[in-house]
Amino acid sequence: MKVCFFGLGSIGKRHLNNFVRFCKEKSIKTEIHAFRNTNNNVDDNIKKLLDKEIFEENKIDNDYDIVFINNPTSMHYKTIEFMADKCKNMFIEKPIFDKVSYDLDELKLKEKGIYYVASPLRYSNVIKYLKENIDINKVYSVRVICSSYLPDWRPNTDYRNIYSSIKSQGGGVSIDLIHEWDYITHIFGFPQKVYNLQGKFSHLEIDSEDLSVYIANYKDKLVELHLDYFGRRSKREIEIYTKEGCIKGDLINNKIVFDFDEDIYFDSVDSNYIYEMEIDYFMDLVLNNKYNENNLNHAYNLLKLIKECE
């Protein structure tokens, strides 16, 4: 299997390691290329996984089975367009694009290709349980929060220089933390109307918004969503209110807390678990031609939901 990686930052390295792990487990032979904008050395553990490093676009091959697009969000559309006729399938890091003015039809993608957009929280034990066990027709309201401290995201890296801090590169909590909206729509579907207030309110030295608050109107419920970059104690939770009481999913502590039943504690897993499960899901799509639940159209509609209420 011949693949090419665009972007070998933290998430690109993670996907590369998980892809190699999967192929070794399945005894799949690989040829792995990486297109890089600079000749800065990658660490030895990553370099040994690569068969070829490419630094000029005209030297990229045109017969890849899979392309992994992990470069900055603002580069996604051009990368997909450039590689559309050079590969069979794509794994695209979320969010799909930095704006909604693009036309998917102009990409001229292969009809039988798998074009999967990342959605790792779907593979957490908490979200899988809620998706499989909650009757959404009996839900009155939902409250979701994702709060964390941006300077702590990448140790030994100046947070002011990462894309999250830079609006022009697709930064800001509304898009950066799109995973919350992804799992909300995965469980409950798309809302009828969304209202949003956002801005830069904290001491952080960034030009992107550090707080975004949504209220979404469904035909039978309301959903509240709070996203921020300045919470000193990380919190990633969903509260679901029903006639029986509240069901709280705690994604950080990997548990479900009930007002009216015994709590559920899932087995401890490391932070890479959901990304391993995601690669397994994606490779199953590619190898067995299964239905892709998070295709370009779904991811694009999710982006439109966010952008059109700004």
Taken in order of first residue, the domains within the chain and their CATH numbers are: 2-119 (3.40.50.720), 121-269+295-307 (3.30.360.10)
Across the chain, mean pLDDT equals 94
pLDDT at residue 199 tops 90: yes
d(CA 304, CA 96): 11
pLDDT of the residue at 169: 78
Determine which helix (DSSP H) or strand (DSSP E) holds 184, and give its type and residue range. Answer: helix 178-188
Q: Return the pLDDT at 39.
A: 65
What pLDDT is recorded for position 234? Answer: 96
Percent of the chain residues topping a pLDDT of 90: 84
Interatomic CA distance for residues 214 and 143, integer angstroms: 10
**Can you tell me the mean pLDDT for 212-218?**
98
d(Cα 127, Cα 124) in Å, to the nearest integer?
A: 6
Strands across the sheet containing 193-199: 193-199, 211-217, 222-228, 139-149, 230-242, 246-250, 255-258, 264-265
pLDDT at residue 93 above 80?
yes
Secondary structure class of 195 (helix, strand, coil): strand
Average pLDDT over residues 145-171: 90
Q: Containing H/E element for 185?
A: helix 178-188
State yes or no: pLDDT of 41 exceeds 80. Answer: no
Mean predicted confidence (pLDDT) in 208-226: 97
Do residues 279 and 166 make contact, with C-beta atoms less than 8 angstroms apart? no
Q: Is the peptide bond before 95 cis (omega within 30 degrees of 0)?
A: yes
Q: Does the pLDDT of residue 99 top 90, yes or no?
A: no
User: What is the C-alpha to C-alpha distance for residues 53 and 186, in angstroms, rounded to an integer?
Assistant: 37
CA distance 165 to 116: 26
The answer to whether residue 170 scores a pLDDT higher than 90 is no
Residues in the chain: 310
The confidence score (pLDDT) of residue 17 equals: 97
pLDDT at 10: 87
Averaged pLDDT, 133-150: 97
β-strand pairing of 255-258 with 264-265: antiparallel
- Interacting residues of 64 by C-beta distance below 8 A, sequence separation 6+: 2, 3, 4, 33, 83, 86, 87, 88
Q: What band does 44 get if pLDDT is binned at 50, 70 and 90?
A: confident
pTM: 0.91
Would you give the DSSP letter of residue 201? -
